[in-house]
A and B are shown apart, each in its own frame.
Chain A
Amino acid sequence: MTFFTVVLRGLLRRPVRTGLTLAGISIGIAAVVALVGMSRGFEKSWQVGLKARGTDLVVSNMSGALTPKPFDASVRDRIANLPHIAATCTILVELTSIEDSDLMILSAREWGGFSWSNLKLISGRMPRDASEPAVVLGKTAAEVLKKKVGDPIQIETSELKVVGIVEGGALVENGSVILSLPLLQGILGSQGKINAIDVRVTPSTTEAQMQELIRQIQQRVPEVRAVTVSEHLNNSEGYRMVRAMSWGTSLLAVLVGVLGVMNTMLMTVFERTHEICVLLAVGWTRARIMRMVLYESAMLGLVGGIIGVALGAVGVQALGATPGIRGLLQPDLGFALLSLSVVIAVAVGVLSGLYPAWRSSRLTPSLALQAG
């Protein structure tokens, strides 16, 4: 028998209680994995989407919600002639409910802008001109909306026609309903308004030149910000809030896990007072008793963490496939997040075990004799 066997026996002594504690901690960890994985997935999906469009810089005002605040399209004329800018494309993007789908990306692009060029037609055709009442659907959007070429599509109060299905090279692109900018401005009654300018820089632009360009844009148009694609979402208040909320909710779930493990370990110490006294009486040191309790609770954390990561990963994939979320984001469950979650779980176990371990080491061995 090894010391590990002793630890394991302690846990298996009350299998139901151990099981319930594991369930508690694993749900907490699953929440961390799911919520953080989703918010990171959202971030990553947008980055990949922007890159697929061939965008290097995004000029927008991200102080609002998840979609940027609208601003006047004339901003583009104030920056288009800056050095190193190869092309610009004005964008109006909305997250909105379309027909039966709760949340779809509605992406209106300047007619003829470079953001159209990376879309590959799978079926149908592109709109004929800027004013044709037509949209193309990313392939995932088509599945979610259950549309095919030729079907009508209701956007706000206007009925448009699906003329093509496209492959956009990224999840966000494939999940979008894409149409020409003047068309959407007309539908929304926001003529002359956009909420982003996609900027493509010349191929030889260095990082330093890019930063200089960002500074110049800032100078010319103080009401917007220019950021590189990778920093795009970090500048969004809305996204920062989502991220904070996902961590906050996760940590709350973890706190509940801590209390659960601590309760279990305290119970187990109280329940095993007699046994712990016997261990002391036959010569176990207080340090070894403490280690036994701490290992037990760390073990609860480790096993709970592994189950939690598995639960969270499965849960997040299931969530990612629901119609409301499909096409909007791809959950990002990196190895770092998964291992961090297990580390958090073990830390939860050790932290929760500290007080019970200390209690156990305060017991007096003579109690063992009196119990006889």
Chain B
Amino acid sequence: MSRRILCGTYSHNHVTPPSSSALPLIEAKALTREFDDGQVRALRGVHFSIREGEFVAITGPSGCGKSTLLQLLGALDRPTSGTLLYRGQSLPDHPHPASYRACEVGFIFQAFHLLPTFTAAENVQIPMFETDRSLKERKERAAELLKLVGLEHRLNHFPSKLSGGERQRVAIARSLANSPSLLLADEPTGNLDSKNAHVVLDLIIRLQQEQGRTMVLVTHDPSIAARAERTLRMMDGRIVSDQISASPGSTEAS
């Protein structure tokens, strides 16, 4: 068995009309996640499904379980019970979770989580090590992605020399490194001032729309959630409402 993960034929990464896909991209049934031997019940039986190409916001107060849910979707953590399917396959039983994380998912974190000892371009290349891209291809791909997020002039800057907004844009470029089907964003503008938050959010939405990726975005900010096509509202480890937005993607709902 090959140790090297082969990411991305681009087949399922680009615009698949949501209606044409019979199988949901993600399907969760009775999903629970408990910590400390059941003393903390972060998720208490969550049901939902997400179609390919959808832009879903998950909102709710702190501690409602939205970040835990995102971690399960990203295979960073395993559910305590329930079913979680990705393209019809059980995610907790995925034979190569690292391959799933590298190829299928792009993560955008609130705290950016760039590696401080690597330049912007190198940070973007990090996920590509798990693919068969050559050194040259990795470099070119990183430059291309940084151009896409408007940072072509910052390739060789270390994160400490970048502003918060620029760092998050590098992180966005990194999340796209292996052309994932699914983008997971956890409060992506939470650490940014309003001007930068605006730029980053517009960028994320533009990338989602242009490239037809599926996006799950966790936020506690209703104005951000309003820009998604659909909002799942969580409370105490459960989904309490599932609404289709009136005017998704519009700039600034408030």
Contact = CB atoms under 8 A, between A and B. Distances in A.
Interface string B100-119: 11110101011101011110
Contact of B178 (A279, A283, A365): A283
A283 B130 contact: yes
Interface in B91-105: 96, 98-103, 105
B117 A368 contact: no
B231 interface: no
Contacts of B111: 371-372
Interface string A8-25: 011011000000000000
A282 B126 contact: yes
Contacts of B76: 280-281, 364-366, 368-369
Contacts of B117: 9-10, 12-13
A317 B77 CA distance: 59
B238 interface: no
Interface in A257-288: 274-275, 278-288
B109 to A, nearest CB: 5
B67 interface: yes
A280 B130 CA distance: 11
B65 interface: no
A339 B41 CA distance: 59
Interface string A334-372: 000000000000000000000000000000111011011
Nearest to A367: B76
A284 B107 contact: no
Contact of B129 (A3, A364, A372): A3
Given A9-B117, A364-B77, A365-B76, A282 B122 contact: no
B81 to A, nearest CB: 17
A9 B130 contact: no
Contacts of B71: 366, 369
Interface in B184-237: 186-187
Given A364-B77, A366-B76, A366-B77, A283 B138 contact: no
A51 B71 CA distance: 77
A204 interface: no
A285 B105 CA distance: 14
B127 A283 contact: yes
Given A1-B125, A9-B118, A279-B126, A372 B113 contact: yes
B112 to A, nearest CB: 8
B129 A288 contact: yes
A12 B129 CA distance: 20
Given A1-B118, A2-B135, A285 B127 contact: no
Contacts of B60: none
Contacts of B103: 283
A5 interface: yes
Contacts of B105: 283
Contacts of A278: 113, 115
Contact of A1 (B101, B138, B174): B138
Contact of B102 (A274, A282, A368, A372): A282
Contacts of B3: 285, 287
A133 to B, nearest CB: 75
Given A366-B77, A368-B76, A283 B102 contact: yes
Contacts of B125: 1
A352 to B, nearest CB: 22
A325 B38 CA distance: 73
B165 interface: no
A275 B117 CA distance: 10
Contacts of A369: 67, 70-71, 76, 109, 186
Interface in B116-153: 116-118, 121-122, 125-127, 129-130, 135, 138-139
Contacts of A281: 74, 76, 101, 107, 113
A294 to B, nearest CB: 15
Contacts of A9: 117-118
A282 B110 contact: no
Nearest to B117: A9
Contact of A275 (B99, B115, B186): B115
Contacts of B122: 1, 5
Contacts of A283: 5, 98-103, 105, 127, 130, 178
Nearest to A285: B98
Nearest to A282: B127
A9 B101 CA distance: 24
Closest 4 CB pairs of A and B: A283-B102, A372-B111, A283-B101, A285-B98
9 contacts: A1-B135, A1-B138, A279-B115, A282-B174, A283-B127, A285-B96, A365-B101, A368-B76, A372-B186
Interface of A: 1-3, 5-6, 9-10, 12-13, 274-275, 278-288, 364-366, 368-369, 371-372
Interface of B: 3, 5, 67, 70-71, 74, 76-77, 96, 98-103, 105, 107, 109-111, 113, 115-118, 121-122, 125-127, 129-130, 135, 138-139, 174, 177-178, 186-187
Given A283-B99, A285-B3, 6 more contacts: A13-B117, A281-B113, A283-B101, A283-B178, A365-B101, A366-B76
